[in-house]
Amino acid sequence: MANIKKTKGVIGILTGGGDVPGLNPAIRAVTIRALREGYQVIGLRRGWLGISSIIRDKAADNSEWYQVLTEEVVNKAGRTGGTFLHTSRTRPSSMAKSDVPAHLRETYTAEKNDLTPEVIKNLDYLGIDYLIPIGGDDTLSYGVRLYQEGVKVVAIPKTMDNDVPGTEYCIGFSTCVTRTIQLTHSLRTSAGSHERLLVLEVFGRYAGFTAMLPTMAGAADRCVIPEHKFDMDRLTELLVYDRNKNPSKYSVVLVSEGAMYEGGEMVFQNASTDAYGHAKLGGIGDLVSAELKERSAKFNNGKKLNIITQKLGYMVRGGDPDALDSIVPMAYGNLALDLLLDGVHGRLVVLRNGRYDNMPIDAVTSSKKLVDVSKFYNTERLRPSYKSFEMKPLLIMTSE
């Protein structure tokens, strides 16, 4: 076992997948509460890669893969964006031969390797009694695997797309929506000055919440989302109509990166995939822009309209967290500690019906969380649909 002094117990915490604002506040919340309850906290660096890479030898330098957390360390980072523990898109249950840590390559020689036995041994080597992974459905799906193997896991949901099943809210979503609204409004001045159509590509592989909420808030005239294949002619007609009725002669559409038009498929940057088999999306905004320009003459008295196109990308996930992404991570971290202190594990902390709660962790792998098109998206008008807000959750369309 590593030379780590035990107190009441040791809690491991990690962040996986994409960075979002709110991760450091969550790490801080877990650490501060755990230390004051008499526990020690180990930060596992680089997500699942870190705990897969530990060398179980007292003489080995594993500082690249974990660090003991203190109040001083987490207080410095707690108000900032990103994750000071760093992150990766690693799947230990299906690790490519080329990604297997060097000291394990003689043991694991297949093209795809399950390093779960090593992960469990490494957790034991570090003396970790409880594990708190913070991530999206990919990261947390491996948390489910570890729980099934007997590891005491309590998970915290994180993703800008807000698509982890079972919860109304995932860390990072509010800042993403806030930044999308801000950036869209900033770009209006250029669109209006040149009387153009403004096309903004936003995150959202399978779920369109990051396009829907800003549009509902008035940031855009239209949005297209992964849950509904849209008609390109119809989108063009609507945007030309919106432009012509606007005194400043411009209109705005938000395009989810996973959106598809009738007759088309998802647009990928290249053929490579991550550890969970996902190809990197990107480019649908450019494609939509080119099509809009070509088709605009049909709805604009034979004259083509020029387009401004911008991929918001990392601008909505960088920087400090907003108010919600400072408050919710604090609550989620304390909820996770409450469960562990009560001897409860195998749970996912969540927001349901506007209240903090928890549910079985396997909810992460048992369903998909998507925009309910029949309730919330007008497929004719290509924008959010709402009739009454009475008794709806805070973020309207994000309940199960």
Q: Which residues are catalytic?
A: 161
* Contact yes or no for 209/370 (Cβ under 8 A): no
Q: Residue 117: helix, strand or coil by DSSP?
A: helix
Q: Quickly count: other Cβ atoms within 10 Å of residue 70's Cβ.
A: 14
Encoded tokens for 18: 């994409």
- 216: which 2 tokens? 């509902």
Residue carrying the six token digits 């396009």? 211
Chain centroid to CA 29: 19
Distance CA 15, CA 31 (A): 14
Nearest-Å Rg of the Cα atoms of the chain is 23
User: Is there a contact between 90 and 275 (Cβ–Cβ < 8 Å)?
Assistant: yes
Contact 358, 339 (CB under 8 A): yes
CB contact at 8 A, 158 and 351: no
Tokens of 387: 């009739």
CB distance 188 to 218 below 8 Å: no
Buried b / exposed e over 282-308, threshold 16 CB at 10 Å, is bbbbbbbbebbbebbeebbeeeebebb
Q: List Cβ neighbours of 88 (8 Å cut-off, separation of 6 or more).
A: 16, 46, 47, 48, 49, 50
* Amino acid code (one letter) for 284: I
- The CA distance from 180 to 174, in Å, is 10
Q: Give the separation between CA 359 and CA 347, rounded to whole angstroms.
A: 5
